[in-house]
Amino acid sequence: MEYLDLERLSDEDELLRRNVHRLAEEVLRPISIKLDRMSPRDRIRPNSPIFEAIREMKKLGLHRIHLPRDRGGVGLTNLQRYIIDEELGWGSLGLATLIGVDAIPFTVAAMFGSERVREEVVKPWLEDVEGRYIGCWGVTEPEHGSDYILAFRDKDVESFGRGNVVIERDGDEWVIYGQKSAWVSAAPICTHMGLHAQLKDGKSLREGAFVIVPLNKLGVRKGEPVDMLGNRDCPQGPVFFDGVRVPEDYVIALSPFYEVFSDQLLNITSVNMGAFSVGLARAAFEEALNYAKTRVQGGRPIIEHKNIKLKIYEMFEKIVTARHYVVKAMDYTYNKFFQLSFDAAPRYARTAQIYAKKIAFEVVNNALQIFGAYGLSSEFIIEKLFRDARALLIEDGTVEALSLDAADDVIQNYK
């Protein structure tokens, strides 16, 4: 397996890559295949293999990769962050997503939370190798999906309406009401949510708050886990809030900081989604390359037919160009994040996510074509990769909404 062909990997990078690849190949991929075939309820039962996958990822410290060392991180370079993500995406898009959203509330709390929040919430999570603490990211609402991507840069933000989850101050506590949609990744098994909520007296989605909500609080209810086409290895479900009270300092970002905070948070998730997408594309490419060398039609291995050769080359071209760009965009975005400058240009991170998602879908689609009818059969993993790549085009923002948002940033800010 060639990897990051144009980057120079140090011995340390190479060792890290091998270790994470081993986890992806020997643990995550087999578990993801099992989860993919289970019912939504069985996937989240205490004996579900999902908890083994979480434990193994936490043992390697993969939940802590987004933090600098002085905030509890494991001292990675940005290239090493990329390497981990690509391997996770190679092993299982769902489990990569799961460990990604797990980190959101806790990473934000570690970077911006008070001493008390860091002690009460972040410390136990940092030290956890059992999967006792699992985070999720509550953005999407029944009435607001793409709105959360598009409203913030729109001149007429009020036309997008108000959020479905509302938060209001009551003395030295905050109280939360409303519902997050069924698409919240990891919600059915998580213990804490990084919640985006509308301020009660705010006029638009822009006037909101990012809150850490421990989900064992009175008034929290989780709905039925949903059955999806792809990304089935990461359970999804709705969460309801009925007068849920959190202490004052669990509100980590409040309007007007909330606005720039949300924009920059989407930068971080975008470069990570980009890296997962390259990993997923590489998985499909390697499956197709191996298959094409052994499948004989027309009296010779199909790899010798020119149409197949061209497809293989085009897949390779897409993966190496996407990888190169996502590595650079990730480096830029994390450097800005750690400087706390809050000025990473969204167009670069969004492009990483949009481009890599698009090529992932194209690569997996072509890979499936190379398999012929076998590609549609559950006997081969390509069928699962295809469903996962389809989900990618919607997860963390549809490619259309992300592209419109990036377009606005280019039009308003490109000099």
Ligand X SMILES: Cc1cc2nc3c(=O)[nH]c(=O)nc-3n(C[C@H](O)[C@H](O)[C@H](O)COP(=O)(O)OP(=O)(O)OC[C@H]3O[C@@H](n4cnc5c(N)ncnc54)[C@H](O)[C@@H]3O)c2cc1C
Q: Which residues bind ligand X (CB under 6 A)?
A: 101, 137-140, 145-146, 150, 183-185, 231, 391, 394-398, 400-401, 404
Alpha carbon distance 27, 45 (integer Å): 19
Q: Could you tell me the two tokens for 273?
A: 């989604």
125-129, Cβ contacts within 8 angstroms, sequence gap of 24 or more:
125/63, 125/192, 126/64, 126/72, 128/58, 128/63, 129/55, 129/58, 129/59
Contact (Cβ atoms closer than 8 angstroms) between residue 355 and residue 300: no
Q: Which is nearer to ligand X, 78 or 107 (CB)?
A: 107
**Using CA atoms in the order 155, 156, 161, 165, what is the torsion angle rounded to 10 degrees?**
20
Alpha carbon distance 76, 13 (integer Å): 9
CA distance from start to end of the chain: 41
Shortest distance (Å) from residue 144 CB to ligand X: 7
Q: Which is nearer to ligand X, 269 or 333 (CB)?
A: 269
Shortest distance (Å) from residue 262 CB to ligand X: 12
Closest to 25 in 3D by CA, of 84, 80, 90, 86: 90
Q: Which is nearer to ligand X, 209 or 401 (CB)?
A: 401
Q: Which is nearer to ligand X, 271 or 288 (CB)?
A: 271
Q: Which is nearer to ligand X, 72 or 397 (CB)?
A: 397
One-letter amino acid of 299: G
Shortest distance (Å) from residue 136 CB to ligand X: 6
Shortest distance (Å) from residue 28 CB to ligand X: 17
Shortest distance (Å) from residue 233 CB to ligand X: 10
Alpha carbon distance 363, 366 (integer Å): 5
Q: Which is nearer to ligand X, 58 or 144 (CB)?
A: 144
Which residue's entry shows tokens 């298959």? 291
Which residue's entry shows tokens 């800010």? 413
Q: Could you tell me the two tokens for 58?
A: 């936490």
Q: Which is nearer to ligand X, 327 or 385 (CB)?
A: 385
Shortest distance (Å) from residue 407 CB to ligand X: 11
Give the CA count within 13 Å in the CB-facing half-sphere of 361: 14
Shortest distance (Å) from residue 42 CB to ligand X: 19
Q: Which is nearer to ligand X, 302 or 406 (CB)?
A: 406
Shortest distance (Å) from residue 65 CB to ligand X: 18
Closest to 148 in 3D by CA, of 202, 185, 196: 196
Alpha carbon distance 348, 363 (integer Å): 22
